Amino acid sequence: MASPRLLRTCLVAALSAVLVASAAIGPAQAEPPDVSAAAVTFSDSFDGPAGAAVDSSKWQIETGDNVNNHERQYYTSGNKNAALDGQGHLVITARRENPANYQCWYGTCQYTSARLNTSGKFTAQYGHVEARMKVPRGQGMWPAFWMLGTPVNWPDSGEIDIMENVGFEPSTVHGTIHGPGYSGSGGIGAGYSLPNGQAFADAFHTFAIDWAPDSITWSVDGNVYQRRTPADLGGRQWVFNKPFFLILNLAVGGYWPGDPNGSTVFPQQLVVDNVSVTTSDSAGGGAIRGLGGKCVDVAGASSANGTPVQLYDCNGSGAQQWTAGSDGTLRALGKCLDATGNGTANGTTVQLWDCSGGPNQRWTVTAARDIVNPQADKCLDVTGNNSANGTRLQIWTCSGGANQKWTVG
């Protein structure tokens, strides 16, 4: 959100360095390899009986109001405004009520709601962080999924807003970074809008970031819509190289969304299906090494659609840092490893492309160190068994050759 919050807490966001292994595909493959270097280190699918409070080993609940944003709600404790629904969801409910014991900066609060965090329970640096949620609707609603740097000294400690929605923009969500000299209304970010006037409140959507030492990339349902690097700050300080924590909340009113009006129907709910964080021991992802000890590399470190993926000397750059999505994708520079043109034939090249969730962007790693595209039932392959820098990668029938063997992480 656009200014510091009340009781700050820590949920780690982290980055997956290697492929998520699944069932073996291809000839003579056995169990998938140990992928402990790329693990879901935080996950909550909010299973439990209806009305139960959230898992206190993962989350704590903030209480109070928010003076800085001039919001209109009071965040309550326990399960009054944040509870499981018995169907695998967390429901954060905003209600119109103003009991006298809920005192806000301007007097008696007019609404109650909830805000959760994981301070002191889970922190990390870099990562793929995502939540699948359905936002509320109505003027004055302000749901958010976001992170703060530790120790909190806003704005110098930094803030990453993974998703914010304001009720007067039902089709748009925003992703933003805040730091010293670029905070509040000066935050740096962009919006993502659904096509054809669809509203985010109509269905669940997945909001995510991929966070590396020198970049943060935002996506909605796997569709990348912005990437920020130190070059975007105009010489100001990049403060996103330390542990951050994550927060879920539903605010009511404030400077940005404005107050609810007669059109706003209460109660309103932010429904969270799951939150997950995938981490690794290596900052910003992991290398994939193959023929001649060289690395899978995005040519020219370009994130443009259609950029060739090649073999190149390992150099530790972001163009060689690959992370695994929970959907089986393999990502670098905020985009996905893609079999060109949805091809399945031998010799189909691989490239970088916007993540679409298509079968040509899904990969598995086997115990034999093959990286397989299940749709084609073919292996990631170094063209011509040539270890020279710049050799294009392709898919080819799995043969067991050295040009199809990869060490992940």
Q: From the candidates 62, 71, 130, 164, which is the catalytic residue? A: 164
Please tell me the distance from the alpha carbon of residue 399 to that of residue 26, in angstroms, as a whole number: 9
- Write out the E strands in 214-370: 215-220, 223-228, 244-252, 268-279, 288-289, 295-298, 309-312, 323-324, 330-332, 335-339, 350-353, 364-365
Query: Residues 393, 379: contact at Cβ < 8 Å?
Result: no
**Is residue 73 within 8 Å of residue 109, measured between CB atoms?**
yes
Beta-bridge mates of residue 212: 215
Closest to 237 (Cα-Cα) out of 332, 153, 147, 316: 153
Q: How many CA atoms lie within 13 A of 295 on its CB side?
A: 18
Cβ contact 81:114 at 8 Å: yes
Dihedral angle sign, alpha carbons of residues 296, 299, 303, 307: negative
Active site includes 159? Answer: yes
Q: Is residue 62 flagged as an active site residue?
A: no
Residue pointed to by tokens 């304001």? 166
Catalytically annotated residues: 159, 164
